Amino acid sequence: MRRFIVLIIILCVVVPVDCYAMSAKSYILIDAENGRVLYAQNENEKLPMASTTKIMTALVAIENSNPDDTVTVSNNAANTEGSSMYLKAGDKISMRELLYGLMLASGNDAAVAIAEHISGNVESFAVKMTERAKETGALDTSFKNPNGLDADGHYTTAKDLALITQEALKNPLFAEIVQTKSINLSGTTYTNHNKLLSKYEGITGVKTGFTKRCGRCLVSSCERSGFSLIAVTLNDPDDWNDHIYLYDKAFAEYKYHQIISNGQNAGIITTIDGNPLNLIYKGVVGAYLNESEIRRVSVKNNMPDSLSLPVKRGERAGSAYVSVDGVSLGGCEIVFGESREISEKRLKDFIWDTLQMWLSAF
């Protein structure tokens, strides 16, 4: 028995076992650079998403208004239930401050004020949100309001929410707002509900959410050494720890690998006179990959079937695309590695052939 116990201890030390159990009903972690799914479970299940809805609200607002716009708060907006930035009917407030109140204080009142300012009413704005979601590839998402309060037909998936967030983070103002821990505007201090901003190194956003129907929902983003990630958990009682676990796992398992270097040999192409011509890659392509993915990387060179002369060194010859398991990792140009003039014999043959074709026409 003693030997057995010693053996078990040795195995636990030498062969690490991942014993962590995710609490989320649905989750996903993607590479924010290319949308590649790194870890996921039930990521396509349609679920309500509470205040993580406001990621799309903010994106649509930024794209359809000016941050310096003045918004007049309606009685309807001021009396919206749930989390609030404490707007009052008749208040005049900038769109910029509404966006901070929306994403940091999770103001449901701010969401309605934004919707009414841009679309006239909540229902029309929700249609705009759904349409914008589809443009990001989020085809299994339907919005019925801008704040995430429980409503029939208001749902998304973890995968869709990751795609929406990936698109939103490309917007500089959105990215600036969601990584702000605290800000004072017009004498009011807004504090971000996202505890991960202070709890985990590299967190850059994004949004919390909760209703009794939805459970705890969390979307976060994190970047270390150029490796950018987006995590989504829906209906997750232990969301903070689950996100930390996903990030720890990804940063441990995925390392940067340069697949194509600038000036690297890209092969040869045969010219019309039958001679080989060197090609080189122009640009750098790399990605964060785990050990098994490195062996599955594919590099496809797209080149013309025939090549006419003359050509000059550095001129574009074609393109290269890099992928793993069918997911694009990027691409670059292929250029000629040397100049080549048309040979005198080939030039004479070309002139003679052209002359014969011209004469035959008569």
> What is the distance between the alpha carbons of residues 280 and 333, in angstroms, rounded to a whole number?
9
**Exposure of 357 by Cβ count < 10 A (0-12 exposed, 13-18 middle, 19+ buried)?**
exposed
φ/ψ of 61, rounded to 5, equals -65, -45
Angle at 240 between CA 238 and CA 242, to 5 degrees: 65
Report how far Cα 77 is from the mean position of its chain's Cα atoms: 31
**Exposure of 53 by Cβ count < 10 A (0-12 exposed, 13-18 middle, 19+ buried)?**
buried
Contact 269, 59 (CB under 8 A): no
Continuous segment of H or E residues that includes residue 140: none
Contact 29, 231 (CB under 8 A): yes
Percent of the chain as helix, strand, coil, to the nearest 5:
35, 30, 35
Contact 279, 328 (CB under 8 A): no
**Exposure of 29 by Cβ count < 10 A (0-12 exposed, 13-18 middle, 19+ buried)?**
buried
Contact 319, 299 (CB under 8 A): no
Q: Please tell me the CATH superfamily of domain 258-341, with its number.
A: D-Ala-D-Ala carboxypeptidase, C-terminal domain (2.60.410.10)
Continuous segment of H or E residues that includes residue 14: helix 2-14
Contact 322, 260 (CB under 8 A): yes
Structure-token pair, residue 169: 């983070």
Angle at 278 between CA 276 and CA 281, to 5 degrees: 150
Q: Could you check whether the bond before residue 206 is cis, i.e. omega within 30 degrees of 0?
A: yes
**Where in the sequence numbering do the catalytic residues fall?**
51, 54, 106
β-bridge pairing 182-185 and 92-94: unpaired
Structure-token pair, residue 162: 């990751």
- pTM beyond 0.75: the answer is yes
Contact 125, 60 (CB under 8 A): yes
Structure-token pair, residue 280: 């080189």
Q: DSSP code of 179?
A: T
Of 269, 202, 256, 257, nearest to 229 (Cα)? 202
Full pLDDT tens readout for the chain, 362 residues? 566 554 555 545 454 557 899 999 999 999 999 999 999 999 999 999 999 999 999 999 999 999 999 999 999 999 999 999 999 999 999 999 999 999 999 999 999 999 999 999 999 999 999 999 999 999 999 999 999 999 999 999 999 999 999 999 999 999 999 999 999 999 999 999 999 999 999 999 999 999 999 999 999 999 999 999 999 999 999 999 999 999 999 999 999 999 999 999 999 998 877 889 999 999 999 999 999 999 999 999 999 887 888 999 999 999 999 999 999 999 999 999 999 987 655 555 555 455 666 667 66
> What is the distance between the alpha carbons of residues 141 and 38, in angstroms, rounded to a whole number?
21
How far CA 251 is from CA of 29, 38, 201, in Å, comes to: 12, 11, 12
CATH 2.60.410.10-classified regions of the chain: 258-341
Structure-token pair, residue 118: 């841009």
CATH 3.40.710.10-classified regions of the chain: 20-253
> What is the distance between the alpha carbons of residues 111 and 148, in angstroms, rounded to a whole number?
9
Assign a CATH topology to domain 20-253: Beta-lactamase (3.40.710)
